[in-house]
Structure 1
Amino acid sequence: MKKASLFHSDLRSRALVSQIKHDLHSFRVITAVDDCYPFVLKTIKDAPLVLYAIGNTELMNQNPILSVIGTRRPSSDAKAKMQKYVLPLVRDNWTIVSGMAAGIDSYAHQLAVENEGKTIAVMGSGLNHIYPKQNTKLFKQIAAKGLLLSEYPPDTPPERFHFPERNRIISGLSFGTFVIEATKKSGTLITVDQALDQGREVYALPGSPLTPHTEGCHAMIQDGAKLVQSPDDIREDWVRIEPNWGHMNQ
């Protein structure tokens, strides 16, 4: 009864109606019943009912889409790893999805933007709140050349619990999730759990046992993630998956 009363109050709120009209003018608003809503997201648990977008929304349906994630505090070798393992996929016209967090996420988006590639950033805040602030330039670059997405209304500030929530969208859009670096208790593991729950592929890059940046990756490989020695290890899976994936997207 209380929820119904609040809903009725919202419907009569001029301020709320005015805000919705403003949002519709400023952002692309995609609902779960719209034709352009990605079908692969409809297959996941707790699919977002609404997505707010800036940029090229067609990217959500341009395959292959791979999520690339990792620690917010990467090693000094992280960029070189991504040049070797992710850049060839960017150059093959793959779409790279990540969460625009500091570290590996930002590296993934930058790699795509700087090499005329395709990238989707899924935000843990409304699109009027760029987080972290140091990614303001990257936000604008993705808005111009890629796609920014959020399930939160534009004026929603970042909250700690938003980031685990948005991870299901990152993995849900992608046929697979590629972990570049992760510590043993990395938040990256939340996205990996989401990917596995959604029936997506999981890939992990091994590294030196002497650095904590690879402990999470090694644990994932022990648990069944595919060890990546070259981009072809991911490409060959997409060739196998593509016929059924393409059918799922129709």
Structure 2
Amino acid sequence: MKDDFLQRLLALHYVYPKPLNRLQRLLSDDPELEKLAAQKPSELASRLEMQFAQANQLKNAYLKALKTPFCEVYAKHKITPISYRHQHYPESLLELIDPPAVLYAKGRTELLLAPEKIAVIGSRNASSYSRQAIHALLPSLIEQNMVIISGLAKGADAMAHAAAIELGGQTIAVTGSGFLHPYPKENAGLHNIIEEKYLSMTEYPPYMQPKRWNFPMRNRIISGLSQGVLVTEAKVKSGTLSTVEHALDHGKDIFAVPGNIFSDLSAGPHKLIAEGAKPVWKGSHILEEYRQLIGKNEQH
């Protein structure tokens, strides 16, 4: 039954790659998706709030997709689909308004079960200051087995992944496109290493290309997986701060690296600090905060 359900879910997600809250309109009274193949397009249109023609198209695409043995196909490409029911699916993601219905993963999925994870993010145009800060802050975090999460973008993200690897730590990359379209191309080498030895994951089926709107969606997963978010450099208006907003919505800790007051890239961290983020210039600052939190949680 479970395998049959996964096949149906993967077929649906392939043709309708939406978050779980959208799929819940179908799952609420058909949790195993057993009735979907027989549903009338008019019923689908009503449930999914779409035009009849669109629902009809979706139904036909779904019936066709059911014939593809997705688990076998993905296994050949070393992709592990992690549904919202999978034992390695992180519970913290289910707290999102729009949890991913499926995560597509390459590498060591057990890293998702690591108890302590921190996101390290910043500008795509990060300067050498971000690299220096990351190399100064990460060693003590890695010594405590914290997994470093980032989005594999240019700049600070790539610096964070590379530093985690170089320092002997573990890292998870959350990407904004399917595995057939790795992005950005200049991080292809780093991506290959992460897929082979660490963990790369996305909520997008393999054929999905990187689109602008995918990246803000990806950011909610980065913050959702992490206990806290560390920002190195960012402008006041940037994608980095959208990750911070997601994190704040879910009560995560925000850490910010103070920087040069004459740099635009320090304006984002300084604004966060002014709004209550913890300024950090040593990894121990982050660890102290976590130890206090862990102590509080254990008391409760």
TM-score bucket (shorter structure): over 0.9
Cα separation, partners in 2 of 1:246 and 1:112, compared to 1, 3 Å: farther
State the Cα deviation string for residues 70-95 of structure 1 (Å, max 9, x = none). 00001232211111112321233210
Deviation at 1:246, TM superposition (A): 8.3
Say which of 186, 197, 210 aligns to 1:158. Answer: 210
Cα separation, partners in 2 of 1:245 and 1:67, compared to 1, 3 Å: farther
Give the TM-score normalised by structure 1.
0.92
Say which of 82, 103, 107 aligns to 2:134. Answer: 82
In structure 1, the residue matched to 2:3 is none
Partner of 1:203: helix, strand, or coil? strand
Partner of 2:68: helix, strand, or coil? helix
Q: Verify: 1:9 aligned to 2:60, yes or no.
A: yes
- Report the more deviating stretch, 43-52 or 22-31: 22-31
> Normalized per residue, which structure has more helix?
2
- Matches of 2:139 and 2:210, distance apart in 1: 30
Cα separation, partners in 2 of 1:115 and 1:229, compared to 1, 3 Å: closer
- Report the more deviating stretch, 77-86 or 46-55: 77-86
Cα separation, partners in 2 of 1:244 and 1:51, compared to 1, 3 Å: farther
Cα separation, partners in 2 of 1:10 and 1:238, compared to 1, 3 Å: same
- Matches of 1:29 and 1:244, distance apart in 2: 35
In structure 1, the residue matched to 2:243 is 191
In structure 1, the residue matched to 2:263 is 211
Q: Percent identity?
A: 39
Measured on the aligned residues, the alpha-carbon RMSD in Å equals 2.0
Structure 2: state its 5+ residue gaps: 1-41, 43-51
Cα pair 1:113 1:141 within 8 Å, conserved: no
Q: Verify: 1:45 aligned to 2:125, yes or no.
A: no
Partner of 2:81: helix, strand, or coil? strand
Which gives a bigger RCO, structure 1 or 2 (Cα 8 Å, sep 6+)? Answer: 1
Give the TM-score normalised by structure 2.
0.77
- Matches of 1:243 and 1:43, distance apart in 2: 22
Q: What amino acid sits opposite 1:13 in the alignment? A: K
